[in-house]
Amino acid sequence: MNIWSYIFRRILYVIPVILGVCFIIFFIFNVCAPDPAQSLLGKHATLQQMEEVRRELGLNKPYWEQYIDIVKSAFTFDFGRSWQTKQEIIEMIKLGAVPSMTMTVPAFVISTILAIIISLMVSFFRGSALDRVTVITCVALMSIPSLAYILFGQWFFAYELGLFEISGYESGFPYFVPYIILPVTIWVFLAIGPDVRFFRTVMLDEVYQDYVRTARAKGLSEKKILFKHILKNAMIPIITYVIIQIPFLILGALLLESFFSIPGLGAMTITAVNASDFPVIKAMTVLSAVAYIIFTIITDVLYTVVDPRIRLK
Amino acid sequence: MRNLKNLSFLALSLLLTLGFQSCTKKQNLDEKVLNLAVTAEIKGLDPIYANDLYSSSEVARVYEGLLEYHYLQRPYTLTPNLAEAMPTVSEDGLTYTFKIKQGVLFHDDAAFPEGKGRELVAEDFVYSIKRLADPKLQGLGWWMIDGKIAGLNEWRAKNAEKDSVDYSEKIEGLQALDKYTLQFKLTKPFPQFLYSLAMPFTFAVAKEAVEKYGKEFINHPVGTGPFVLPVYQQSNKIVYTKNPNFRKKLFPTGASEQFKEIEAANKGKTLPLVEKVIVNLMKESQPRWLNFQKGRIDYISVPKDNFDSAITPDNGLTGNLAKLGIELAILPSLDVTYTAFNHDLKLFQNVNLRRAMALAVDVHESNKLFYNGKSLPAQSIVPPGIAGYEKNFTSPYREKDLEKAKALLAKAGYPEGKGLPEITYDCPSSTVSRQQAEHFKKQMAELGINIKVIQNTWPELQKKIQKRSIQMWGIAWGADYPDAENFLQLLYGPNRAPGANGSGYDNADFNRLFEKATVMQDLPERTALYEKLNRMAAEEVPLIYGVHRQNFTVKHSFLKNFIPTDFDAGQAQYLDIDLKAKAEVLKKL
């Protein structure tokens, strides 16, 4: 099948998925969630005012209309205004996406490249002391809660040693750089454990394949076997693992943004959850769902690029 | 070779360290900049939505009202701001006439011809208060003027039905008599009305700016205040600069005894005293605390987690902080925490049961557990610092006395708790609220009362209270203005939920006295009535009172004129930075 018709067909499949996702979001936030009127109006709310607020927010509309509104927003990206801050949600998202990505993209790239290099090394020296030490270190890194990295990093490296800014953010390159070095470093430490363990497993699966033995028998160098054969064949699970994480890079890192006062989408989502700001939560949920679906399609298409044996159907 | 490797490693480390060193920014000591931290997101900069402490502080940097709290006086006293003087009040207490200051300019903004801010006139207040009453805008301060200004409720109701709100219609109780004279006519005497004119809800906005920016007005603040912020973008940092057109406002005089020194040091200075105000959003306590210790924030409330390392048992500062010249200010907050009964339930109409339950609570233990032992056990509903609170009054149902509690429980008809159903206790879902609920449960178990704790999200809890589908719950009330009426109203029958009286307590004697007190001017007779009401509230135990919290604020020595306040509407204009002292302090940090 032609790649474009495949993409077109997949996009058509996306429509019922989005409708389903919208239904779940509608059910959670419009049917099950408590009435927000009083919490929005504060401690002096009157019944009449609450009624007016419900009308203003469209909460007195029939359920089917409220569902249509969510579906519309998923396709038009017009999410209305935040209940709490009265800001246009799409503007809030635009403003927040850049700071999120200035932190998450470098962190993701560095941690992924490092993890692939380390995994290749340990699979080359599989069973050796280096392999064991790496695996133990990975498990140890994974066992420490992310909050501990953040608290320690902020206190020791930023406050005690004064090497980094404790928190904050400034827009534009290179002004944001001093503010993201520490959160990026912490991200790398957080991500490297699970990444190395996953990549190592994937590569070891390949290491014991017949084609590797054949390559060795033919006298190919270990370097060539690792980089040309093993890495190439391990790319499919690696691509899946990597690309599926991309939507979450746009959406930011909840704890890191909150602790480092980075005005990204992660911090925005936490604030919205704490304030029961449903339009913002709904917008973020719809966006994540849409982004997840899009990146799944991209993953499928990329499979054919790394492995021509795979055909799109 | 090995040495060479080591050397390279050392050189690389050094380079990295130097590289990182340049990653931290030096503080600007060329101009006076106030560095503040807020712990919650700002809800935009439209006065009519400023219903929380954070948003109202921000709004008050840009906008101003007719009145303000005198910066150097305690107890809190209203003083003219944009008003020329305090109003003249008619004999019947219904008509308030204000003269407003002449020559006050709005900030320069594209909303005005040639971008030049025009003069503020009395009509701007008429417009601003109509905006607060506009049914389409749902201003969050409507409760403050609801039913109080003649003709305003009718105007609101009429316009609720229309597609667009008619601002041109004349309202009997809200009129600009001429360019500089503003008159309010109230529907009934209500001296607390003046407090609403010091609240950001009623601050003056310019019609031109509202019309130009429409829904985006919330992001384009245009006021008359000491600082300007042309466009507000939701971010982690808001930077205000000094308003170049600010009128000549002098540092206040007439300080209370404890602030005479500040008055003397600043006599004749024009406000604001700093060039810039930077407000940093720091939601988490660790970065806030560390930034303060590095001198990047000028003052903060001591975070709960750092309390023990910062404050000594005798309310002093620990050695490290004291050595750096950091200073501590303790402010009893105007608030009260309490456990409420749903008085609709026959069970809780039994005063002996309520008293028994109150006597089973060890307020000192909960103070230690949840407030580092630094709160004040509440004897009744009115907090210290306002008229109606009596320093030496102690409630007969405050100190834990299990024997007396058991006797009262038996008198209530439930000896050792027999015959009592399991009682549900609802609390918000935060960790501390749950812990407090569990502590309450444990104490009630000592009396033989079974409590079931239910956690709720905040909206769920509100809904339950409003629908009366709740038995007991824990909550707190903070003052909107410094008047006992604001607390006593929590027990006024007609105020039942969804009004402020969530418990639905309704006592005819209390209601009658409350109605009498609240229409009286601030005179000793009114204070006597407030005290009587407060004693009734202690005797009848309509709520189990918890504590009045205290705010522990630490500040750097280079920050001048700082006075902790419950009502930060414009505080930044009075604060000053001693740049020389700051440079010295920063060297030590």
Of A45, A95, A258, the CB nearest to B234: A95
Identify the sign of the CA torsion B271, B302, B500, B138. Answer: positive
Judged by CB atoms closer than 8 Å, whether chains meet at B23 and A85 is answered as: no
Would you say B185 and B95 are in contact if contact means Cβ atoms under 8 Å apart?
Answer: yes
List of chain A residues whose C-beta atoms are within 8 Å of the C-beta of residue B463: 34-35, 38
Of A50, A53, A181, the CB nearest to B23: A181
Judged by CB atoms closer than 8 Å, whether chains meet at A87 and B280 is answered as: no
Q: Does residue A310 or residue A213 have the better pLDDT?
A: A213
pLDDT band of B234, cuts 50, 70, 90: confident
Pairing of strands B423-428, B472-478: parallel
A17 has pLDDT over 90: no
**What mean pLDDT comes out for the span A227-253?**
82
B499: nearest Cα among A35, A83, A40, A49: A49
pLDDT band of A309, cuts 50, 70, 90: low
CB atoms near residue A258 (< 10 Å): 23
**What mean pLDDT comes out for the span B93-108?**
97
List of chain B residues whose C-beta atoms are within 8 Å of the C-beta of residue A163: 17, 20-21, 23-24
Q: Does residue A34 or residue B65 have the better pLDDT?
A: B65
B226 has pLDDT over 90: yes
Name the strand (E) or helix (H) holding A271. Answer: helix A265-274
Of B24, B144, B236, the CB nearest to A262: B236
Enter the DSSP assignment of B74: S
Q: At what angle do helices A278-306 and A265-274 cross, to 10 degrees?
A: 140
**What mean pLDDT comes out for the span B478-500?**
91
B13 has pLDDT over 70: no
pLDDT digit string (tens) for B426-464?
998 888 899 999 999 999 999 999 999 999 877 788 888
The pLDDT of residue A311 is 65
B21 has pLDDT over 60: no
Instruction: Quote the tokens at residue B97.
Output: 């006439």
Collect contacts of B239-242 with beta carbons under 8 A, ≥24 apart. Answer: B239/B276, B239/B277, B239/B278, B239/B279, B240/B61, B240/B62, B240/B276, B240/B277, B240/B278, B240/B279, B240/B572, B241/B275, B241/B276, B242/B272, B242/B274, B242/B275, B242/B276
Judged by CB atoms closer than 8 Å, whether chains meet at B458 and A52 is answered as: no
Cα distance between residue B353 and residue B357, in whole Å: 6
CB atoms near residue B57 (< 10 Å): 22
Judged by CB atoms closer than 8 Å, whether chains meet at A165 and B23 is answered as: yes
The pLDDT of residue A251 is 72
| B163 reaches A (C-beta below 8 A) | no
Q: Tell me the C-alpha to C-alpha distance, in Å, between residue B87 and each of A5, B81, B146, B170, B184.
A: 76, 12, 21, 21, 10
B15 has pLDDT over 60: no
A131: Cβ contacts below 8 Å, ≥ 6 apart? A122, A123, A125
CA dihedral B29, B30, B34, B36 (to 10 degrees): -50
Instruction: Quote the tokens at residue B505.
Output: 């307590």
The pLDDT of residue A243 is 85
Judged by CB atoms closer than 8 Å, whether chains meet at A46 and B293 is answered as: no
Name the strand (E) or helix (H) holding B377. Answer: strand B376-377
DSSP A53-98: HHHHHTTTS-HHHHHHHHHHHHHH----B-TTT--BHHHHHHHHHH
Residue window 181-220, chain B: list those with CB within 8 Å of chain A: 215, 218-219
Mutate to test the interface with B, among A55, A59, A81, A85 (most CBs of B within 10 A): A85
Would you say B460 and B411 are in contact if contact means Cβ atoms under 8 Å apart?
Answer: no
Least confident of A189-193, A249-253, B539-543: A249-253
Give the ipTM. Answer: 0.85
| B476 reaches A (C-beta below 8 A) | no
Average per-residue pLDDT for chain A: 86
The pLDDT of residue B1 is 42
The pLDDT of residue B12 is 47
Strand partners, A98: none
The pLDDT of residue A313 is 61
Would you say B359 and B400 are in contact if contact means Cβ atoms under 8 Å apart?
Answer: yes
Would you say B501 and B391 are in contact if contact means Cβ atoms under 8 Å apart?
Answer: no
What's the order of all strands across the beta sheet hosting B276-281? B33-38, B276-281, B237-242, B227-228
pLDDT digit string (tens) for B313-347?
888 999 889 888 899 999 888 999 999 999 999 99
Average per-residue pLDDT for chain B: 91
| B455 reaches A (C-beta below 8 A) | no
Cα distance between residue A77 and residue A89, in whole Å: 9
List of chain B residues whose C-beta atoms are within 8 Å of the C-beta of residue A164: 20, 23-24
Q: Tell me the Cα Rg of chain A.
A: 24
pLDDT digit string (tens) for B506-562?
999 999 999 999 989 888 999 999 999 999 999 999 999 999 999 999 999 999 999
CB atoms near residue A32 (< 10 Å): 8
Judged by CB atoms closer than 8 Å, whether chains meet at A167 and B287 is answered as: yes
Cα distance between residue B21 and residue B7, in whole Å: 21
B16 has pLDDT over 80: no
The pLDDT of residue B36 is 96
* DSSP-derived 3-state class of residue B485: helix
The pLDDT of residue B29 is 86
A108 has pLDDT over 90: yes
Strand partners, B80: B67
The pLDDT of residue B14 is 45
Cα distance between residue B514 and residue A305, in whole Å: 79
pLDDT digit string (tens) for B289-313?
999 999 999 999 998 888 888 999 8
B11 has pLDDT over 50: no
**What mean pLDDT comes out for the span B377-385?**
94
Pairing of strands B33-38, B276-281: parallel
**Burial class of residue A155 (count of CB atoms within 10 Å of its CB; 0-12, 13-18, 19+):** middle
Please report, as a single letter, which amino acid is at residue A183.
Answer: P
B314: Cβ contacts below 8 Å, ≥ 6 apart? none
Q: Does residue A49 or residue B273 have the better pLDDT?
A: B273
Cα distance between residue A88 and residue B188, in whole Å: 41
| B285 reaches A (C-beta below 8 A) | no
pLDDT digit string (tens) for B39-62?
888 888 999 999 888 899 999 999
Of B21, B215, B462, the CB nearest to A38: B462
| B74 reaches A (C-beta below 8 A) | no
Nearest residue in B to A164, CA atom = B24
B81 has pLDDT over 90: yes
B298: nearest Cα among B570, B558, B25: B558
* DSSP-derived 3-state class of residue B149: strand
**What mean pLDDT comes out for the span A131-155?**
92
